[in-house]
Amino acid sequence: MLLPDGYHDLPPGKLATVVTFLEMRAAVPARSVPDDPSRRLRHVPRPGLDWYRALYRAVGEDWLWSSRLVMPDHELGAILASPEVEVHVLEIDGHEGGILELDFRQPGACEITFFGLVPAQVGRGHGRWLMDRAVSRAFARPIDRLWLHTCSLDAPEALAFYRRSGFVPYAQQVEVFDDPRLLGALPRTAAPQVPLFVR
């Protein structure tokens, strides 16, 4: 269904965001990032749900990431147990500083399902380094398409970052979903830049 032009009321307790889908059809050259011996990417096969959700929340709470917090355990467990899903943690000085999740379940393609840094590591070049690893790992497999999506609730610099990384926008959608702060999945203090409407 196409939305007509104009303003549209949201039901109580709902949020709306504009989602932009981007893709890369061939690996782009890695960008120049200074060496940092304190930084490494660690693959975590079959991550535990509590560990995974804690890292997911540490990275995404400011941007209202919530899909994996409200997903039933059996569904999330099945995704993370798939041999076609890779979860990686960015470690900086031995501490967890970011997440990279690659999903190869669609033949010939890879989705960067989740990508981000904990707030303390933003703006220090780690994102560029992590994206270079994401592109390299994805195209090491026989794929012809790497894709991801971001939204207007995400970090303001996210879309420009993905475009600088070589991704090209190809579609947009409007997503409406329950405010996770009202569901109790995130504290009401999360993402103060997004108004919380309590009725």
Q: What is the pTM of this model?
A: 0.94
**Phi, psi (5° rounding) for residue 151?**
-145, 170
Least confident of 33-42, 108-117, 163-172: 33-42
Q: How far is Cα 97 from Cα 196, in angstroms, rounded to an integer?
A: 28
Q: How far is Cα 62 from Cα 110, in angstroms, rounded to an integer?
A: 26
65 compared with 124, residue with greater pLDDT: 65
Average pLDDT across the chain, whole number: 95
Write down the pLDDT at residue 2: 81
Q: Could you tell me the fold of the domain covering 14-28+39-183?
A: Aminopeptidase (3.40.630)
Edge-first strand order for the sheet with 109-117 is: 39-43, 85-92, 95-103, 109-117, 145-151, 14-24, 168-178
pLDDT of 123 strictly over 90? no
Mean pLDDT in residue range 49-53: 98
Write down the pLDDT at residue 173: 97
Write down the pLDDT at residue 181: 97
Q: How far is Cα 49 from Cα 31, in angstroms, rounded to an integer?
A: 33
